Amino acid sequence: MKPLSHILCALLVAGSSLLAPSPALGTSPGSVFLVGGALDDGNAAVYGEFVRQAGGANARIGVLSASSAVPHSSANAVIKVLKRYGAGDATWIPVTIKNDGSGEDPALAALAAGMTAFFFTGGDQFRYVQTMIRADGSDGAVLAAVRARFLAGAPVAGTSAGMQIFGGPDMVTGGLSYYGVRDGSVAGYFDTDQILGYWPAGGFNFFTAGLVDTHFDARGRDGRSIRLAADTGHARVFGVGEDTALIVNGARMRVVGTNGVSILDLRSAVVGGGATWSISGVRWSYLVDGDEYDADQWSVFKKDSPLVPDERTVSAPTQNVFGSYELVNAALDLCRAGLSTSTTGLTAETSPQFTVTLTKATGFAAYTRSFTDLTLGIG
């Protein structure tokens, strides 16, 4: 027998759906807010834009937190912030791994069907797979309701694991850059950072223009993303920095927030055949607040101002190239050093030790805080 609280919840949801039918939306998918993680409560640019697109004072935002080890607390924290930025209502949709079968709960699916937007919190993206996607790969009842609203125009936002789950085939499930570059990727989910794991079926497929990765610069994830893309045949990676969002509307995308978004283009990359893995010819563009990107045209539209480089050479190479912010800082230093055309960085690990090389090649351009088409190689 179902507990009384469950029955009451179902009755309340059913009653509210009769009194307040699902808000009318459009006929095309909503925006996708890919948030790289560590989203500050004071980030008005990201939260404010999301709440505005959700409907502002008329918004009904469903918060999902199945990825979190403390799902109720995570959801409540987000709900408070969304309301602070003017959301009319924000409600936890309590799908959790601790509540087996909640992803198929008809009452929760009905609750989701009445929302104007959805926010997915961080944690472990594989928990979203376990709770919201069926064993055969189809949508569970709650995800089906979310997808229907998204396809009708409801924006969806996800931070950290909540962003990662929006991706398509070959979603990364874990692993550090060094081990990924050294050993390659392995299909599955592994409870260790020493294996670059990925889920071939992917996540929710809300974003399929390339692989995605989170906490990109803060956790030095360039290496693992490049290796995974090369192993699985993807030509592009979108690496989103912390406290930063890539807002996607169809093919058009815009960066909003504190840090940046890396776009790694592997169309001309060549994987080496030596004793240790190597790759050359990856094109790296780093975009910051206000910059835009057209995924169909593979084109960057810059708001950041052009850079006048210093009359100097690059700083000493980093000895921990996949450390926090090490690679992007090396790239920005190269951009500013007008007398240098390349720089290198070494991995802290030495069995074997890898070298990352950055080169100002044809098409490269530098801006105050960003750059386009810097060539990257690992070997």
pLDDT in tens, 139-160: 999 999 999 999 999 999 999 9
Task: Tell me, yes or no, whether 43 and 74 share the same domain.
Answer: yes
Task: Tell me, yes or no, whether 259 and 184 share the same domain.
Answer: yes
pLDDT at residue 22, rounded to an integer: 73
SS3 content of the chain, % helix, strand, coil (to 5): 30, 30, 45
Within-domain flag for 301: no
CB within 8 Å of 125: residues ≥ 6 apart: 67, 161, 162, 164, 165, 171, 173, 203
pLDDT at residue 7, rounded to an integer: 32
Provide the domain count of the chain. Answer: 2
User: How far apart are alpha carbons 261 and 325 in whole angstroms?
Assistant: 13
Structure tokens given for 79: 């709900």
Task: Tell me, yes or no, whether 176 and 220 share the same domain.
Answer: yes
Encode pLDDT of 234-246 as tens digits: 999 999 999 999 9
Residue 200: asked if its preceding bond is cis (omega within 30°), the reply is no
In Å, how far from its chain's centre is CA 173?
12
User: Taking the model in full, what pTM does it have?
Assistant: 0.94
Encode pLDDT of 339-366 as tens digits: 999 999 999 999 999 999 999 999 999 9
Task: Tell me, yes or no, whether 55 and 19 share the same domain.
Answer: yes
Task: Tell me, yes or no, whether 284 and 374 share the same domain.
Answer: no
Report the CATH number that the domain containing residue 112 is assigned in CATH: 3.40.50.880
Encode pLDDT of 268-287 as tens digits: 999 998 899 999 999 999 99
Query: Is the pLDDT at 3 greater than 50, yes or no?
Result: no
CB 151 within 8 A of CB 29: yes
3-state secondary structure 185-241: EEECCCCCCCCEEEECCCCCCCECCCEEECCCCCCCCHHHHHHHHHHHCCCEEEEEC
Instruction: Point out the domain boundary residue: 250, 273, 294.
Output: 294
Encode pLDDT of 181-231 as tens digits: 999 999 999 999 999 999 999 999 999 999 999 999 999 999 999 999 999
Task: Tell me, yes or no, whether 287 and 147 share the same domain.
Answer: yes
